[in-house]
């Protein structure tokens, strides 16, 4: 599994990137960009999460089986979110009374 020892500077570099991205997301959230606030914040979060998964959790050294399972996990959560959202977002497409 983790056959190679990762140099300390790699971990520190990832750490620095994560902190930088955190600062960025906090600063950007203070600016009103409308819908883009959400997209940018989520993109940064996905980037940060990917850095943790790839470097800290050693997926960069892992087998394709492990990577398949990691991908499957996020994909399955997306199935949940997307299908549930598809209901709520498309409810307004039909004329009818709204309860909310």
Partner 1 sequence: MSTTLPRPETTERPNYLNVDYSWKSWLFTTDHKRIALLYLFSITAFFLVGAVFAGLMRLNLLFPDGLFEHDTYNKFFTMHGVIMVFFFLVPSIPATLGNFLLPIMIGARDLAFPRINLLSWYIYIAGGLFAVLAILKGGVDTGWTFYAPFSTTYSNTHVILAAIGVFVSGFSSILTGLNFIVTVHKMRAPGMTWSRLPLFVWAHYATSLIQVLGTPVVAITIVLLMLERILHAGIFDPNLGGDPVLFQHLFWFYSHPAVYIMILPGMGVVSEIIACYSRKGIFGYGFVAFSSVAIAVLGFMVWGHHLFVAGQSMYASMVFSFISFLVAVPSAIKVFNWTATMYKGSITFDTPMLYALGFIGLFTIGGLTGLFLATMAIDVHLTDTYFVIAHFHYVMVGGMVLAFLGGVHFWFPKMTGRLYPEMWARLAAAIIFVGFNLTFFPQFILGYLGMPRRYATYAQEFQVLHVLSTAGASILGVGYLLPLIYLSWAWRKGERSSQNPWQAKGLEWEQSPTPPPTFNFDVPPVVTERPYNYSEEVEVGGY
Partner 2 sequence: MADTDLSVASHASTALKHHFDDSEQQLESSTLGMWVFLLTEIMFFGGMFGAYTVYRNLYPAAFASTSHYMNVTLGATNTAVLIFSSLTMALAVRSAQLGQKRALLSFLTFTLILGLVFLSIKYVEYHEKWVDHHIPGPGFHYAEPQYFHQAQILFFLYFAMTGLHALHMIVGAGLLITLIAMAARNRFSAGWYTPVEMIGLYWHFVDIVWIFLFPLLYLIGRTMR
Q: Which residues bind partner 2 (CB under 8 A)?
A: 1-2, 5-6, 8, 11-12, 14-15, 18-19, 22, 25-26, 29-33, 37-38, 41-42, 44-45, 48-49, 52-53, 55-57, 62-63, 65-66, 69-70, 72-74, 76-77, 80-81, 84-85, 88-89, 100
First to last CA, the chain: 52
Question: Least separation, in Å, of the C-beta of 73 and partner 1?
Answer: 8
The stretch among 10-18, 30-38, 39-47, 92-100 that binds partner 1 (CB under 8 A) is: 92-100
Q: Is 34 left (phi over 0), alpha (psi -120 to 50) or beta?
A: left
- 94 touches, from partner 1, partner 2, none (C-beta below 5 to 8 Å by class): partner 1
Residue of 96, 6, 16 lying closest to 51 (CA atoms): 16
Please report, for residues 19, 34, 37, the alpha-carbon distance to residue 31 in angstroms, rounded to integers and kept in the order given: 19, 9, 8
Q: Which is nearer to partner 1, 27 or 94 (CB)?
A: 94
């Amino acid at each position: 599994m983790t056959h190679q020892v990762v140099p300390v500077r790699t971990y520190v570099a990832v750490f620095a990137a994560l902190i930088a991205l955190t600062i960025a997301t906090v600063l950007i959230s203070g600016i009103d960009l409308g819908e883009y606030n959400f997209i940018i914040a989520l993109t940064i979060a996905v980037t940060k999460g990917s850095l943790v998964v790839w470097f800290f959790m050693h997926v960069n050294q892992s087998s394709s089986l492990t990577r398949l399972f990691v991908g499957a996990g996020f994909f399955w959560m997306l199935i949940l979110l997307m299908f549930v959202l598809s209901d709520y977002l498309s409810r307004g497409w039909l004329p009818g009374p709204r309860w909310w």
